[in-house]
Copies of this chain bind each other. A is one copy, B any other.
């Protein structure tokens, strides 16, 4: 497994692989890898990648000034071991300075799908995401890139970027990997106390109930479902950041929840912001 820290060297190697006709996959991560990330690598293998590049980079540009950039968990040694075991061909571990010049001044901005949900609560977040993913696409030259469904809005925004800027990259979205308890795997789960972890179970439980209601009735008014979800989360001691039902492609609000719609939740367990979603 190759380890790259230099952007130009990664790009050179990837372009060589591409010129040899290889099918290249990119798995962009912020590191502190868990089974969710490993399932993305697994998905890359299943999609017949010849070479899988995993990027491990906590991207400063996608964090707000009051967010957890400094404290975001990092463990390079463990990440490398997991990538090796999972069958990555290369890992890209840049420093922020290797990706952003001191006078960096170009950003990629999605202006519609990124305005609501997490985008409304985290100004500049998706501008940072789009910018770094565009950079990674240009560096790793992937035929396809794998993102997790847990970051549902991110996947939609990246799909839009690919369409609108004509990146020759296919976006593959892999399903959410959960703990046995139902809690969506997240590097940020490491922040949670046992009590917070117990409270956090209400998130997926409430999403599953809504999915069950749709499965049973075909369609249900979102308003009453939302009230039920909020009630359940608050009762569990969580602070609801948002609970929204949207069209899975356009991310536009729906008033009547129908099969294929997505229900997205963000909630705080203590100081830790968790997100989860379900396609009903």
Contacts and interface: CB of A to CB of B under 8 A. Distances in A.
A240 to B, nearest CB: 27
A73 to B, nearest CB: 27
Given A19-B19, A139-B166, A168-B11, A105 B101 contact: no
A173 interface: no
Contacts of A100: 164
Main secondary structure of the interface of A (DSSP, over half): mixed
Contact of A166 (B138, B165, B167): B138
A107 interface: yes
Interface string A137-162: 01101000000000000000000110
| Copies of the polypeptide in the assembly | 2
Contacts of A105: 110-113, 160, 164
A106 B111 contact: yes
A138 B160 contact: no
A139 B107 CA distance: 19
A104 interface: yes
Nearest to A136: B166
A82 interface: no
A97 interface: no
A21 interface: yes
Interface string A1-39: 000000100010001001101000000000000000000
A110 B168 CA distance: 22
A121 interface: no
Contacts of A139: 166
A130 B165 CA distance: 10
Contacts of A11: 166, 168
Nearest to A114: B105
Contacts of A106: 108-111, 130, 160-161, 163-165
A134 interface: yes
Given A104-B164, A138-B166, 14 more contacts: A7-B166, A19-B21, A101-B164, A103-B112, A105-B113, A105-B160, A106-B163, A107-B109, A108-B108, A108-B109, A108-B134, A131-B165, A135-B164, A141-B168
Interface of A: 7, 11, 15, 18-19, 21, 100-101, 103-113, 130-131, 134-135, 138-139, 141, 160-161, 163-168, 250
